[in-house]
Amino acid sequence: MLLASLISSFGFTVGIAATDPGYNCRPGQKCWPSWQEWQQLNNTVNGHLYSTIPMAAPCYENSTSYNAGVCNVVESNYNDSISRGAYLGQTYWLNWETCGTSGCSLESANPEETLYSTCSLGRLASYYVDIRNASHISATLQFTQAHNIRISVKNTGHDFFGRSTVPNSLAIWTHNLDTLDFHQNFTASNCPSANGQNVGEIGAGVVAGDAYRFFNSHGMDITGGYEESVGIAGGFGQGGGVGSYTTTYGLMVDNAVEFEVVTADGQVRIINECNDAELFWAMRGGGGGTYAVLTKYRVQVYPSLPIHAYNFDANFTGVNATQTLREIMTAHANSQIEWSAQLVTGQIEYFPGKVSVGMNLPYGDDGSKLKSATAAFDHFLRNRTDLGVTQAGYTSYATYTDFLAVTAADARKTEPAGIFSQLASRLIPREVFTTPQTVEALVDGVVEGILKARSLINLTGTQVVLETPVTNLDSNNMTSALPAWRNALWHVIHVGEWEKPLAPEVLENATSGFLQLLDPLKALSPGGGAYFNEAHYGEPSWEETFFGANYDRLLEIKNKYDPTHIFDCFKCVGWRGEQE
């Protein structure tokens, strides 16, 4: 009790080891804490320590957690991204809650079926602390250092590399730090240059949908992402953060004003451009889970704008289908420089026999600007005789929250929670769009990728995302986001999804095949890169690809604030190659 009150009154400074102890104590080993020691930690964190139970355990009849009534609830929530994120014992993509052939998942299309014969923890953490205040984080860090246990830091579990779940770890679960606040006049901590107007404050666990609705009620928009269940202060807000406002206001990290964090030494710090400025810089783009645990994110928000949408969906079949795909993508590429100049955003999704255009512009008019920017492309599409059009037209939404219902419904179709997935992505620089030869090579490379992806996995699609920070060149290096963002016009993402575990050799073939889809795009963008949050997990030169010229400085800062590597995560700055 005394320990707990000291922690909450003053913040706790952990006597941090000077060298890396390895953080490799595993359950069952002598070093693993006794029941009494876990109990002490539980007391210190006010009863918020839990052992992990996989979300689907109540549906496994041979599990000690079997419970038919609870199972019904789990089944009905299984694919719902918001409900799913409220369980620690899951990841959005099943790849990361399973380990080889063991796990505890359900079949997404048919959740009354289990995917494994018995329920096991898979890659999920052994224990977790459901964090309710910063002192719980300090206490957890102290405990794991004392017992040499690996930690993991988790919010929603959406990470495409499973970085937020580490087997045999004690998880710091920040999802329930979900407060929101709005400061019309904001005073930064000891930093007059960071004072300003219209600053939003979001707890580490806030998801995008709640943030959009909250700030909208104050007449404001926040630079969140496309899907409503992504945690915007965690991996999103520390690794970049792109969405419908990126062309207009920059990345989420461009808009960061101040963070409250707990560093490896257990200290609670308010960091901004004046205090611990280098740590603030590193956490503005250098990736989540790497330098400290964030508890609060203060961010510039903007007076609310209407958002306008242009949609065009069509199917095409027959021997000329690939040529159709090529021609539509070429028209898209040839329009891109102008669309970016007009700050048009959104994405076009390409499939072997289908195109789905979803372009947007947040702008204070009646939609005329978007219509005029896209008129020639719309005319080109409507006049084609080889398309079976299923949807076409313009819609305006008074606020982003109105638009959110549309994006959420779309995401439920295209990226449902509770399935397996992999990505392969590349940022395509502006120069590629300036000559017919490079446009042709780009289109060839992407089309080739679309066709090859389908030969590797049944369910595939390629998103060409137009959400690049064209208004913000970050010429003063205020953020540590991958520099390739600043010159990119396309973010090409090949997506593969599947519902049941693949045989190891099939998975290996698909994984290496997906990486190869990027070869033509890499040839067109030497020295470019890929978005750390939405990339292929097998990227070989990941330091350069995800962090570019910022890597060395980020590593120095990492080593200064986290000298024993308690916050290491897969292909994050400072990762030393451990395979979990």
Binding site for ligand FAD (CB under 6 A): 92, 153-160, 163-164, 174, 204, 225-227, 230-231, 234-236, 238-243, 288-289, 293-294, 411, 415, 533-534, 569
Q: What is the closest distance, in whole angstroms, from the C-beta atom of residue 128 to ligand FAD in the complex?
A: 12
Sign of the four-CA dihedral 234, 343, 450, 542: negative
Smaller CB separation from ligand FAD, 122 or 520: 122
**Closest approach of ligand FAD to the CB of residue 293, in Å:** 4
Please give the single-letter amino acid code of residue 296. K
For ligand FAD, the closer CB: 439 or 481: 481
Supply the minimum distance, in Å, between the C-beta of residue 217 and ligand FAD: 22
Residue closer to ligand FAD, measured from CB, 7 or 283 = 283
Please state the closest distance from residue 436 (CB atom) to ligand FAD, in A: 31
d(C-alpha 41, C-alpha 18), whole Å: 23
Q: Which is nearer to ligand FAD, 252 or 373 (CB)?
A: 252
CB of 49 or CB of 411, closer to ligand FAD: 411
Q: Which residues pair with 110 in a beta bridge?
A: 107
Alpha-carbon span 83 to 95, nearest angstrom: 19
Could you tell me what percentage of the chain is helix, strand and coil, using 3-state DSSP and rounding each to the nearest 5? 35, 25, 40
CB nearer to ligand FAD: give 253 or 387: 253
CB of residue 383 vs ligand FAD: minimum separation in angstroms? 32
Quote the least distance from Cβ 168 to ligand FAD, whole Å: 16
Amino acid making up residue 314: A
In 101-236, the DSSP E strands lie at 106-107, 110-114, 127-130, 151-154, 170-173, 180-186, 196-203, 220-221
Question: Min. distance of Cβ 414 from ligand FAD in angstroms?
Answer: 9
CB of 574 to ligand FAD, least distance (A): 13
* Token pair recorded at residue 483: 């520099």
Cα-Cα end-to-end distance for the chain: 35
Angle in degrees, CA 557, 563, 568, rounded to 5: 85
The C-alpha atoms of residue 429 and residue 17 are separated, in whole angstroms, by 44
| Shorter beta-carbon distance to ligand FAD: residue 227 or 258 | 227
Q: Estimate to the nearest angstrom the gap between the alpha carbon of 393 and the chain centroid.
A: 30
Q: What burial class does residue 297 get, using C-beta atoms within 10 Å of its C-beta: 0-12 exposed, 13-18 middle, 19+ buried?
A: buried
Question: Measured from the CB atom, is 174 or 340 closer to ligand FAD?
Answer: 174
Question: In angstroms, what is the minimal distance from the CB of 389 to ligand FAD?
Answer: 26
Mark 484-511 as b/e (b = at least 16 C-beta within 10 Å).
bbbbbbbbbbbbbbbbebeeeeebeebb
Q: Identify the residue whose tokens are 């783009």.
A: 285
Q: Which helix (H) or strand (E) holds 235?
A: helix 235-239
User: Is the CB of 363 or the CB of 570 nearer to ligand FAD?
Assistant: 570
